[in-house]
Amino acid sequence: MSEAFLRDFARYCPLANATDRHVVIYRNGHPVFHADFRRDIALARQALAGLETVLLADRPTVALYEPDVYAFTVWLLAAWSLGMMVALMGDDLPATRKALALPWIGREHPANAISNWHAATRTSRVLRVNSVHPGLTLFTSGSTGKPTPVEKTLAQARAESQMLEAAFGALLTPDTRYVSSVPHPHMYGLTFFILWPLLFARPCVAERLCYPEDLERLPAADYLFVTSPTFLKHLTDASPGLAPHTRWRLAISAGSPLAAEIAASSATFLQAPLIEIYGSTETGAAAYRRGTAPWQPLPGVRFSLEAATSRLRIHSPALSVAERESGFLSGDLVRLDEQGGGLELLGRADRLVKIGEKRISLTQIEQELVRLPEIDNARIVPLQHEQEGGRLVLGAAAILTPVGEARKRNLGKARFDRFLRAALRDQIEAVALPRRWRYVTTLPTNDMGKSTHDGLGRLFAPALPHAFCLAQEQDASIGRARLQLRCAPNLVWFDGHFPDLPVLPGVVQIDWAAHFARLHFGLDLQSAPITRMSGLKFQHLIRPNDAPCLDLIWRPGKQELEFAYTLAEIPCSRGTLILRKV
Amino acid sequence: MTTGTLLQEVKAFIIETLDLEDVAPADIDDDAPLFGEGLGLDSIDSLELGVGLQKRYGLKISTESEETRQIFASARALADFIAAHRTQ
């Protein structure tokens, strides 16, 4: 019977003694009791027993994606009780399913209708689980955009929950309900929102909080809030009313760094202690802090410093047996106090770049930027120049505050860019001052609040080719310039135009002609806009990586700009732009 | 060529050589320093401008000398230097 598994899984934990009337979860406001829970697990086991599983590293493995928290938990425990390893998936998009050749359970499975499970009878097959075997495969969402599998045993998952209970259990009551605003198939949500309450016999609320206003509709009870900086920021911005007779015993934030002001205002708003968690998918939760206090290791965790690189080594009961020996070398740069406890995070090791032989911390630049009254949030992206031997330059994607918006309106973008560079000059090496600036209303992030490298990189796709002026002559009546262009393959204009045959659009060629004429002849297109075009001809395609020549002839008397693009003397396009007479 | 048009050309040369984004010649003040304050160029830019001067105007400058600092003092100083020494 699956009770045997539950007992084994929950050994040393209160769940083992849970009564039939113990509430496991609240779905749509209604309690699901432990007896129902056990029955549903048994039914899910029945469905899984007939499944042809795939052996992955000698273990039968299934992929699980199920947005419903209750159904997710049932599937998870049922699969574990059959000795299966479960790969937790963040979505079940066709591409994801194709990439992972495993039997998928959850939403897509024919037996997913939970109402049917309730109607069916119990099974009675006994299956004990050896919790040393891998029980779980998680995929780190990572900042590189490439998912990497991380394996966990049930023993590790249990050790982590025990650490959390030891650290924070005293703040909670047996009836405290866990409610979450973060996705449950990731390490953070899974541990804090599903496994911890499950093992310590506290109920959770199945419905994920998506909007600050959802807080207004919670039934009267005591709550623990599993959340992220992104949600807390929205929460303090929106400041909804709190539902009557709800009491927040503890709020927990993880996923990305929490700004001190957001931490303070959220704690005040919820009238609850707000704990920030430091950890990773590989190590589980490792340290915690309240407000701006120094990071403290969770009970049982020990830190050491890899002297050569200043990287943090984590020793934790939640690591695998093999890793516990040496500890897990994290990618974070830290300072430790003498006792080896208090931890100061200095940024990611992989967020260090070298520019002109200088080591530059991208995290430090971001921190300096958000200190400015003009900047609300910012991400720094290293960008390699397209031209040969080009230097590494930094791009800044920033969300402006109202102060910043106003100043940008006054100065115009170019001067505002320089204003920000000047504001950073005392703190940041000149070579590390961001060169490319993008002002956005949101930073591209995944739902864990982490910026994605690909999403950020796309913001900086160049709109202009690299250009070099080969020759230029000017007298009062005529100006000529000959420019050598290089069309980088990641030019924004090649994107989707056309998917299978990227070509440079004609309208872009006209825009570039106007742009370079402005640069070389000082055309003022504000007061003398283009009114007409004549003799337009597009004869030969310009493709990614092409290096066309652009010839410009400017006749100020006639207000006419002639342009011609050629590729190794082959005419590509030509035409004349006629500006309004001033 | 008048000094005015050469000054315009020099500004375009700086923008293109350094691939400065969103900067138009009008944003570069004739007499403002190119490095540090003003345009805010850095030591790597100085090297790239040096290489660019050689390619475009056949001018050789030694790096990190007092003379170089004077040449790059402003767009106008650079234009004056080019006008006086250019070989192409």
Cα torsion A580, A582, B2, B4: sign:
negative
pLDDT of residue B66: 77
pLDDT of residue A321: 85
Could you give the CA distance from residue A48 to residue A79 in angstroms, rounded to a whole number? 7
To 5 degrees, how large is the angle CA A263–CA A266–CA A271? 120
Give the domain ranges of chain B.
3-85
CB nearest B12 (choices: A421, A436, A520): A520
Beta strands A328-336 and A23-27 are: unpaired
pLDDT band at residue A42 under the 50/70/90 scheme: confident
pLDDT of residue A87: 87
- Percent above pLDDT 70 for chain A: 87
The whole-angstrom distance between residue A442's C-alpha and the CA centroid of its chain comes to 12
Q: B16 vs A385: CB contact, 8 Å cut-off?
A: no
User: Measuring CA to CA, how many Å separate B19 from each of A420, A500, B16, B22?
Assistant: 18, 29, 5, 9
Whether B59 and chain A come into contact, CB under 8 Å, resolves to: no
A526: three-class secondary structure by DSSP = coil
Beta strands A54-56 and A30-33 are: unpaired
A376-379 LR contacts (CB < 8 Å, sep 24+): A376/A400, A376/A401, A376/A404, A377/A443, A379/A443, A379/A451, A379/A456
pLDDT band at residue A408 under the 50/70/90 scheme: very high
Q: What residues of A are in contact with residue B15 (Cβ under 8 Å)?
A: 519
| Beta strand extents in A66-198 (DSSP E only) | 85-88, 104-106, 134-140, 148-153, 177-180
pLDDT of residue A126: 32
Q: Please check the confidence at residue A97 and state whether its pLDDT lies above 80.
A: no
Q: Please check the confidence at residue A301 and state whether its pLDDT lies above 90.
A: yes
Could you give the CA distance from residue A481 to residue A562 in angstroms, rounded to a whole number? 11
pLDDT band at residue A299 under the 50/70/90 scheme: very high
Q: Please check the confidence at residue A294 and state whether its pLDDT lies above 80.
A: yes
Residue-wise burial string across B68-83, b where 16 or more C-beta atoms lie within 10 A, e elsewhere: beebbbbbbbbbbbbe
pLDDT of residue A122: 36
Between B66 and A562, where is the model more confident? A562
Cβ atoms within 10 A of the Cβ of A241, count? 8
Find, among A504, A491, A560, A572, the residue nearest to A531 by Cα: A560
pLDDT band at residue A13 under the 50/70/90 scheme: low
Q: Are A157 and A164 spatial neighbours (Cβ–Cβ below 8 Å)?
A: no
A116: three-class secondary structure by DSSP = helix
Q: Please check the confidence at residue A142 and state whether its pLDDT lies above 50.
A: no
To which residue do tokens 């830290």 refer? Answer: A334
Whether A466 and chain B come into contact, CB under 8 Å, resolves to: yes
Q: Which of A1-10, A193-202, A516-525, B4-13 is predicted with the least confidence, judged by mean pLDDT? A: A1-10
Q: Which of A16-25, A440-449, A472-481, A564-573 is predicted with the least confidence, judged by mean pLDDT? A: A440-449
Q: Please check the confidence at residue A556 and state whether its pLDDT lies above 70.
A: yes
Between A377 and A137, where is the model more confident? A377
Q: Which of A108-112, A138-142, A421-425, B59-63 is predicted with the least confidence, judged by mean pLDDT? A: A108-112
pLDDT band at residue A315 under the 50/70/90 scheme: very high
Q: Which of A81-90, A354-363, A437-446, A562-571 is predicted with the least confidence, judged by mean pLDDT? A: A354-363
Q: What residues of B are in contact with residue A390 (Cβ under 8 Å)?
A: 19
- Write down how long chain B is: 88
pTM summary value: 0.61
Q: Backbone phi, then psi, for A105, in 5-degree steps?
A: -120, 170
Could you give the CA distance from residue A458 to residue A265 in angstroms, rounded to a whole number? 33
Could you give the CA distance from residue A526 to residue A10 in angstroms, rounded to a whole number? 72
Query: Least CA distance to B21: which residue of chain A?
Result: A436
What would the pLDDT profile of A447-500 be if each residue is shown by its tens digit?
555 556 667 888 888 888 888 888 888 777 888 999 999 898 888 899 888 888
pLDDT band at residue A508 under the 50/70/90 scheme: very high
Could you give the CA distance from residue A344 to residue A258 in angstroms, rounded to a whole number? 14
Q: Which of A190-204, B18-32, B61-75 is predicted with the least confidence, judged by mean pLDDT? A: B61-75
- Classify residue B22 as left (phi > 0), alpha (psi -120 to 50) or beta: left
Distance from CA of A563 to the nearest CA of B (A): 18
pLDDT of residue A302: 92
Whether A354 and chain B come into contact, CB under 8 Å, resolves to: no
Could you give the CA distance from residue A85 to residue A70 in angstroms, rounded to a whole number? 19
pLDDT of residue A503: 94
pLDDT of residue A57: 63
Cα torsion A443, A446, A448, A452: sign:
negative
Whether B9 and chain A come into contact, CB under 8 Å, resolves to: yes
pLDDT band at residue A146 under the 50/70/90 scheme: low
Whether A383 and chain B come into contact, CB under 8 Å, resolves to: no
Amino acid letter, residue A33: F
Could you give the CA distance from residue A541 to residue A528 in angstroms, rounded to a whole number? 30
Q: Are A392 and A382 spatial neighbours (Cβ–Cβ below 8 Å)?
A: yes
Could you give the CA distance from residue B13 to residue A581 in angstroms, rounded to a whole number? 28
Average pLDDT, chain A: 84
pLDDT band at residue A576 under the 50/70/90 scheme: very high
Residue partners of A213: CB distance under 8 A and separation at least 6: A238, A240
Q: Does domain B3-85 have CATH number 3.30.300.30?
A: no
Find, among B38, B74, B71, B68, the residue nearest to A430 by Cα: B38
Q: Backbone phi, then psi, for A220, in 5-degree steps?
A: -60, 125
What would the pLDDT profile of A180-232 be if each residue is shown by its tens digit?
999 898 889 999 999 999 989 999 999 999 888 888 889 999 999 999 988 89
What would the pLDDT profile of A48-60 be if each residue is shown by its tens digit?
877 776 666 667 8
CB nearest A431 (choices: B26, B36, B42): B42
Q: A422 vs B40: CB contact, 8 Å cut-off?
A: yes
Q: What residues of B are in contact with residue A467 (Cβ under 8 Å)?
A: 16
